Amino acid sequence: MRPASSRGAVLLAIVVCAVMASVARGSGGRFEFRLFDPTGQIRTVVTAPDLVRSSARAERRSDGSGILYFRLTKHGVAKFRTLTRALARRGARLQRRQGFDFEVNGTNYGRPLVDYTAYPDGLDAASGIGLTMQLSVARMLANAIRPG
């Protein structure tokens, strides 16, 4: 059973880099987080200040995989919608799904794809974002994201 707070969250399946490199703090001991267009054509980037860090958690799925769940601030939700809307529009022009990179402390953990046919106006992350990945990676990232 999923906790009530994750119901309705945007669920994105990603292929996670199996690199279990340390997710120690970014350069200078700072926490770094980015959701961004890997081509650089879309300038909107969701960053650490857009993240509700205390919301990060890992959950086990029924198939044994994991979900990294987190929420964004109101400003972060708007930026995420802008990013994914631009990706959906580009996808419609190119007739193929476009992805954004998910990066924590300088390590890229995947590229979720935005389905331009299902979400032509982008994704709404008002109730949170869930990224499917290996459970061990989800747990490691949730610990890295949560403050303290």
Q: Are 138 and 59 in contact (CB under 8 A)?
A: yes
Instruction: Answer yes or no: is 1 within a domain.
Output: no
- Which of 17-26, 70-79, 121-130 is the least confident region? 17-26
Instruction: Answer yes or no: is 57 within a domain.
Output: yes
Q: Which residue has the higher pLDDT, 34 or 11?
A: 34
104: β partners: 33, 107
Range of the domain at 50: 8-18+29-145
Instruction: Answer yes or no: is 23 within a domain.
Output: no
Number of domains in the chain: 1
In CATH, what number is assigned to the domain containing residue 128?
Answer: 3.30.1360
Residues 19-76: pLDDT tens digits? 333 444 445 578 999 999 999 999 999 999 999 999 999 999 999 999 999 999 999 9
Q: How would residue 1 be classed by pLDDT, with cut points 50, 70 and 90?
A: very low
Averaged pLDDT for residues 95-121: 96
Instruction: Answer yes or no: is 3 within a domain.
Output: no
What's the confidence (pLDDT) of residue 11?
56
Instruction: Answer yes or no: is 116 within a domain.
Output: yes
Q: Please give the structure tokens belonging to residue 56.
A: 């990060």
Q: Are 71 and 78 in contact (CB under 8 A)?
A: no
Instruction: Answer yes or no: is 70 within a domain.
Output: yes
Instruction: Answer yes or no: is 35 within a domain.
Output: yes
Give the mean pLDDT of the chain.
87
What's the confidence (pLDDT) of residue 147?
86
